[in-house]
Amino acid sequence: MLIDSQKGKVKFKVVYHGIAMSGKTTNIEQLAKKSGLEVLSFDTKEERTLVFDFVTKRMNVNGFEITFSIYTIPGQDIYKDIRKMVMRGADGVVFVVDSAESRLKENKEFIHVLEEDLRMQGKTLEDTPIVVQYNKRDLPDAVPLEELKKEVSIPGKKFTEAVAVRGEGVEETFNLMVEELINRFKRMTG
């Protein structure tokens, strides 16, 4: 978080984390589309983000001009150095879960990857603003929500359901993240 109190400006970094192909890029593309913004993608091939995608979004809250820098990580393990670089300085994380039955185990294991990425920054799952998004709810083999929540969840975090490809649940997810970050900012600034 960067604060310029003289100018009344605050900057937050939000990272969309989660396994490869869970819908992270789709989320920020949809967010950008709804706000008329453009996504910068670096080396995207065959729908797989090799580096990251990036978009900035501005909002006004209580007289502060708040800028969100939004990034996605590459989910494949071979790009872990890039992932760690993208995670640097993250204020909040949206953890995008693929609801497909076939990817249940991978999603579950990836929570440990997130935990490790945060640990490298001296942070924990507990003290980081995180929203869990159960994406691809439209899939015929989507794991029922109650079951998915039991298998893949982070204690104490809010969650949403989404069909990112249709834009459903995308803004709701981001707004929850914004709320978490702003509440924390308000607590900090008294």
Ligand X SMILES: Nc1nc2c(ncn2[C@@H]2O[C@H](COP(=O)(O)OP(=O)(O)O)[C@@H](O)[C@H]2O)c(=O)[nH]1
Indicate which of Mg ion, ligand X, none lies near residue 92 (CB less than 5 to 8 Å, by partner kind): none
Q: Is 75 in the site for ligand X (CB under 6 A)?
A: yes
Q: Is 46 in the site for ligand X (CB under 6 A)?
A: no
Total number of residues that touch ligand X (CB under 6 A): 19
Q: Are 150 and 132 in contact (CB under 8 A)?
A: no
Please give the Cα distance from 92 to 83 (Å, whole number): 15
Q: Which of 10, 14, 21, 176 binds ligand X (CB under 6 A)?
A: 21
Interactions with Mg ion, residue window 38-67 (CB under 5 A): 49
Q: Considering the complex, what minimum distance in angstroms separates the CB of residue 56 from ligand X? A: 18
Q: Considering the complex, what minimum distance in angstroms separates the CB of residue 24 from ligand X? A: 3
Q: Which residues, 6+ apart, have CB-to-CB distance to 91 below 8 Å?
A: 1, 12, 13, 14, 129, 181
Interactions with ligand X, residue window 76-105 (CB under 6 A): none
In the complex with ligand X, the residue whose CB is nearer, 75 or 92, is: 75
Please give the Cα distance from 86 to 160 (Å, whole number): 23
Please give the Cα distance from 124 to 120 (Å, whole number): 9
Neighbours of 124 (CB within 10 A): 10
Contact positions toward ligand X, by CB under 6 A? 20-26, 47-49, 72, 75, 135-136, 138-139, 163-165
